[in-house]
Amino acid sequence: MAANEAIKLRNNRLAQYYGMFTVGLIVISLIMGALELVAGMPQAWIGWTFLMLTMGMYAFIGIMSRTKALDEYYVAGRNVPAIFNGMATGADWMSAASFISMAGTLYALGYDGLAYIMGWTGGYVLLALLFAPYIRKFGQYTIPDFVGTRYGGRWPRLVAAVSAIIVSLTYVTAQVVGVGIIMSRFIGVPYEWGVVIGLSGVLVCSFLGGMKAVTWTQVAQYIILIIAYLIPVTFLSLKLTGFPIPQFSYGVALQNITRLEGELKISSEAPARDGTGRVIQQGYVPAYNEGLSNAPAVTAVGQINSYFGTRFTPPAVQSIPNTTKPAEEIQPDWRGTPWNFLALTFCLMVGTAGLPHILIRFYTVPSVRESRMSVGWALVFIFLLYFTAPAYAAFARWEILQNVVGKEISSLPVWTQNWSKLGLITQRDYRTLEGRDIAKLPAWAAPQVTSGALVITDANGNGKIDVAGATFSESEVDGKKIGTFGELSGTAITKNSTDGILQFGELNIDADTIVLATPEIAGLPYTVAALIAAGGLAAALSTADGLLVVISSAIAHDFYFRIINPKASLNTRIWLGKSMLIVAAVIAALLALPRLALIAQMVAWAFSMAAASFFPVVLLGIFWKRCNGPGAIAGMVGGLSVTIFYMASNYLNPSFNVLGITHLASGIFGLPVNFLLCYIVSKLTAAPSQEVQDLVDHLRNPQLDDDLMTELAGTKGKVAAGAH
Amino acid sequence: MSDTKDMDRQQRINAYWNENNRLIISLLVIWFAVAYIPPLFINQLNQIRIVGFPLGYYFGSQFSLAVFVVLIFYYAYAMNKLDSKYHLKDK
């Protein structure tokens, strides 16, 4: 009972600390807001203050939680209460992409984007029912630990450790890119400096206190990020609908979107198609409009070539259906079918449950019972953000259809003009080119010159484009319509694209803009924008923290201690863990500096890879006693091979596809292969040893103090010792 | 299966595991139905609007998420009961 009292006391104290922290954050935001509005505090000061205060807070928690104990360093001492572990998991899980870009993705994709919303939440059901309680019961340090002990020997552990490192390293690189972008946009430091400052924030905390510091920092980071996320959209909802709960009021926005899209002829129940069946206008609510295209691959290869000076041949741009081909050669158009949506949702769910940095969070709770509750809390906290993101997207879409599309370019709302200057909003009307240097065309117009669709005749020889006061005229050459507009001519010049009115199709919005611009759309002071930056930073740093712990423990614990030198002393192990943390951080920073588009694409692939490698092996390891080491290796290797094959083939050449499923959902093919191979090979080889089978029994029972458990705990020690 | 005291140790372990599996399967059926059935009827569902939300869109953006949360807490609750029933409470 005394122990129970102590736990209660500690939980109360934790709740008090974080309660005070929350109140403090709100008070500081209000003070900053007042200083800005009343005293005219400059924006840069506000940005710096938020940055300093939040980073200082993380450093403070890191220093307070510094530790030299192995259990604290790797698994936060296994005494994190369910609800706090839920918050930490939420912050661990929600990355820079969830916080900043997801609303923008939803804005662009409409219903199709909900695959991410469902996928990234539904995975927690799998985690709760199939993994978390057993991982907690297993109670070691890493996921390769589980694979290594359950399947015996170094090979399964090695394969698992290598996969964990690859997945986590790409993921952490994307976070570092996010940190650099947020810092440069809001603090005004160069991108490279942003990366360095952000990473030092991560390191202060994780270096000193490992998982313990990471956990308690993540709780604080969750509080910052959720407050920052909810405030702007709540005010926007109040402004647009008079009702301050955006999650319920965005129905009004959806209704208006459908109406406006109807008026602008963007939306109909089925998307509008041209004579060849190609979708020309896509509505927000109608589903399954996504086509297949290898445009991302073309961009990525081009970027790598220009940065590293390599000469990879980029694939020819291909969109399905390829309308230049004769009708009988046109690939079937999968738009309008649900298969890609369903496959993507499934891969994201299964991949979520197989990601090592999320799985290890369930080592840190005190008991099996708490681990089950903890997944529930994690999803509650994640839910708060994910069911708000569509509200951001819908309000932005409404605002844009209402006040931006169909308006004169010269009279667009101020926020549109501001973000256009930063290049995050692109207006593809040729009138916007007035006065531009011919040598410095915007990214959307330059390829048109290369392809010959746009011809610039510098009639007055001033090196600039002159279209002011010009009128559009059209002539027909060789059966093609050629438009002329001042110094511009070519097939790309049309009446619509020169009328000075922004059509929906001429508007391109960067995915990050939706969340970042919402405070401005809602007419909120800059303080709120700075708070958003702090929230985005918290989301990126917390995820980076968790991932760095996975990488460093895979190297220090799994490679070094378990495989190379099992006699290593406790001090050596901790010291090595800390140095690997720095090595991993430096590698991530170096990978992040070129800002390759490929990195973000690789993060999306990580889910398919985790789904096709870890998920089946961990699942069968718990639920099928007969599953053995050779089966697991065959499954992982086979599943990953099939996934990577489909991924690469479809990424480069979209006409390679099954039912229109894109490379992002390629795990759907690798997963069954993994299960099948694992089953067949396990059946063909010897059953796992009695000790391993006893271990499985041990996993399945939460009871610890039973005579059976003591007996098994003894054997379990032997199993672990026999593994090397 | 109300009287679990008469079972021997192995029987208790097996019965506990079987009940756990049945629970997992029934919850996964709900999980699957909520996530993967509405998208198949999306156009029909979107004809119905509730306070502005097309029903199909609503399922994907809110309803399914809320069901996921409930499923996890229900599992935690049901397993706690199961643990006591088979005297397998930890600590």
Nearest to A118 among B21, B53, B60 (CB): B60
Q: How many helices (H) and strands (E) does chain B have?
A: 4, 2
Residues of B with CB below 8 A from A117's CB? 60-61, 65
Instruction: Look at A46-55, A682-691, A712-721 and tell me which has the smallest mean pLDDT.
Output: A712-721
A512 closest CA partner among A26, A177, A88 = A177
Contact A287 B46 (CB under 8 A): yes
Q: How far apart are CA A491 and CA A471, in angstroms?
A: 16
The answer to whether residue B25 neighbours chain A at the CB level (below 8 Å) is no
| Conformation bin of residue A406: beta by default, left when phi > 0, alpha when psi is -120 to 50 | left
Establish if B4 touches chain A: CB-CB under 8 angstroms: no
Report the distance separating Cα A38 and Cα A151, nearest Å: 65
pLDDT at residue B3, rounded to an integer: 58
A129 Cα distance to chain centroid: 24
Q: Of A254, A376, A703, which is closest to B89 when you measure between CB atoms? A: A703
Q: What's residue A641's pLDDT? A: 92
User: Residue A473: what pLDDT?
Assistant: 83
Residue A227 confidence (pLDDT) above 90 = yes
**Dihedral pair phi/psi, residue A426, rounded to 5°:** -110, 130
Q: Report which of residues A308 and A376 the model is more confident about.
A: A376
CB contact under 8 A, B72 and A248: no
- Mean pLDDT over residues A602-623, rounded? 89
Q: Please give the pLDDT value at position A717.
A: 40
Please name each of the domains of chain A with its CATH number.
Answer: 1-243+354-426+512-592 (1.20.1730.10), 430-499 (no CATH)
Residue A722's pLDDT band (cuts 50, 70, 90): very low
Chain A: closest CA distance from residue B64 (Å): 7
Average pLDDT, chain A: 84
Instruction: Name the A residues in 250-269 with CB < 8 Å from any B CB.
Output: 250-255, 258, 269
Contacts of B27 in chain A (CB under 8 A): 125, 129
What number is the average pLDDT over the span A475-481?
Answer: 78
Calculate mean pLDDT across residues A324-345.
70
Could you tell me if A703 lies within 8 Å of chain B, comparing CB atoms? yes
pLDDT tens digits, one per residue of A199-219: 887 888 888 888 899 999 999
pLDDT band at A318 (very low <50, low <70, confident <90, very high): low
Give the residue-averaged pLDDT of A113-138: 92
Whether residue B42 and residue A345 make contact (CB cut-off 8 A), yes or no, is: no
User: Contact at 8 Å (CB) between A431 and A498?
Assistant: yes
Asked if B42 and A386 come within 8 Å (Cβ–Cβ), the reply is no
Residue in B closest to A383 by C-alpha: B65
What is the structure's pLDDT at A2? 63
If one compares A326 and A504, the residue with the highest pLDDT of the two is: A504
The two three-digit tokens of residue A285, written as one number: 């609510």
> Higher-confidence residue: A286 or A400?
A400
Residue A270, pLDDT score: 47
Q: Is A336 left (phi over 0), alpha (psi -120 to 50) or beta?
A: left
pLDDT bracket for residue A267 (50, 70, 90): low
Nearest CA in chain A to B13: A701
Output the pLDDT for position A685: 92
How far is A383 from chain B, CA to nearest CA, in Å?
A: 7
Which band of pLDDT confidence, cut at 50, 70 and 90, is reported for residue A319? low
Q: How confident is the model at residue A514 (pLDDT cuts 50, 70, 90)?
A: confident
Measure in Å the smallest separation between the Cα of A379 and chain B Cα atoms: 6
- Tokens found for residue A60: 């403070």
Q: Is B68 close to A122, i.e. CB distance below 8 A?
A: yes
Q: pLDDT value at position A620?
A: 94
What are the pLDDT digits (tens) for B4-35? 666 777 788 888 899 999 999 999 999 999 99
Q: According to the model, what pLDDT value does residue B41 have?
A: 87
Q: Model confidence at A465, in pLDDT bands (50, 70, 90)?
A: confident
CB count within 10 Å of CB A42 equals 10
- In chain A, residues with a C-beta closer than 8 Å to the C-beta of B43 are 269, 286-287
ipTM of the shown complex: 0.93
> By percentage, how much of chain A surpasses pLDDT 90?
27
pLDDT grade, residue A713 (50/70/90)?
very low
Q: CA A281 to CA A273: how far, in whole Å?
A: 7
- The pLDDT, as a whole number, for residue A490 is 83
Q: Do A111 and B60 touch (CB under 8 A)?
A: yes
Indicate the range of A26-30, A252-256, A449-453, A490-494 predicted with least confidence: A449-453
Length of chain B equals 91
CB contact under 8 A, A704 and B91: yes
A116: confidence class by pLDDT, cuts 50, 70, 90: very high
Q: How many residue pairs bridge chain A and chain B with CB atoms within 8 Å of each other? A: 145
pLDDT (0 to 100) of residue A390: 92
Which of A269-278, A290-299, A318-327, A631-640 shows the lowest per-residue confidence on average (mean pLDDT)? A269-278
Residue of B nearest to A269 (CA): B43
User: By the CB < 8 Å criterion, does B41 face chain A?
Assistant: no
Residue A346, token pair as written in the block: 């499934």
Contact across the interface for B79 and A383, Cβ inside 8 Å: no
Among A residues 315-374, those touching chain B with beta carbons less than 8 Å apart: 338, 341-342, 345-346, 349, 367-369, 372-373
User: What is the full DSSP assignment across A432-483?
Assistant: GGTT-BTTS--TTTHHHHHHTS-EE--TT-SSB---TT--EEEEEETTEEEE
Q: Please list, residue by residue across B45-73, b when 16 or more beta carbons sit within 10 angstroms of its beta carbon and e when fewer do.
A: bbeebeebbbbbbbbbbbebbebbbebbb
Contact call for B24 and A117, based on CB within 8 A: no
Q: What is the DSSP code string of A122-189?
A: HHHHHIIIIIHHHHHHH--S-HHHHHHHHH-SHHHHHHHHHHHHHHHHHHHHHHHHHHHHHHHHHT--
Rounded to whole angstroms, how far apart are CA atoms A232 and A103? 13
pLDDT mean over A281-301: 74
Which residue does chain B place closest to A378, by CA atoms? B69
Q: Hey, is A91 helix, strand or coil? A: helix
| A710–B contact, CB cutoff 8 A | no
Dihedral sign for Cα A183, A189, A195, A196, please.
Answer: negative
Following DSSP, what letter does each residue of A543-555 receive, concatenated? HHHHHHHHHHHII
pLDDT category at A712 given cuts 50, 70, 90 is: very low
Residue A482 clears pLDDT 50, i.e. is over it = yes
Query: Which chain A residues contact residue B57 at CB under 8 A?
Result: 111, 114, 254, 285
Decide: helix, strand or coil at residue A323.
coil
